[in-house]
Amino acid sequence: MPLNPHTKILNRLQRAHGHLKSIIAMIEDGRECLDIAQQLQAVETAIGNAKKALVHEHIEHCLEHSVRQGPESAQATIQEFKEITKYL
């Protein structure tokens, strides 16, 4: 079975998901706001890094493949590049 091309991204998101579940438990347990805020920042950073990795992976693999198809797909590739970079 081929390896999922997004395995690294899935791993990042699964870790963030686990941290988010922990944060919910922290809130339910009445933990200090500072501790919760720190963990929320960590989750936000992890999700941001996953998003960047996804965009970079798309540029590296998908758009590179489109460019190799020749000039007829160049305009569509440029437009797709512009769209995906909005998320960086």
Residue 61 maps to a domain: yes
Q: Above 50 in pLDDT, residue 18?
A: yes
Q: Which domain holds residue 70?
A: 7-85
Residue type, 59: I
Q: What does 8-33 look like in DSSP terms, one character per residue?
A: HHHHHHHHHHHHHHHHHHHHHTT--H
Residue 56 maps to a domain: yes
Task: Give the domain CATH number at 43.
Answer: 1.20.58.1000
Residue 2 maps to a domain: no
Question: Once rounded to an integer, what is the mean pLDDT over residues 14-21?
Answer: 92
Residue 74 maps to a domain: yes
Residue 1 maps to a domain: no
- Summarize pLDDT for 38-83 with one digit per residue, the tens: 999 999 999 999 999 998 888 887 777 777 776 767 777 788 888 8
Which residue did the predictor score with more confidence, 10 or 74? 10
* pTM exceeding the 0.85 threshold for the entire prediction: no
Residue 66 maps to a domain: yes
Overall domain count for the chain: 1
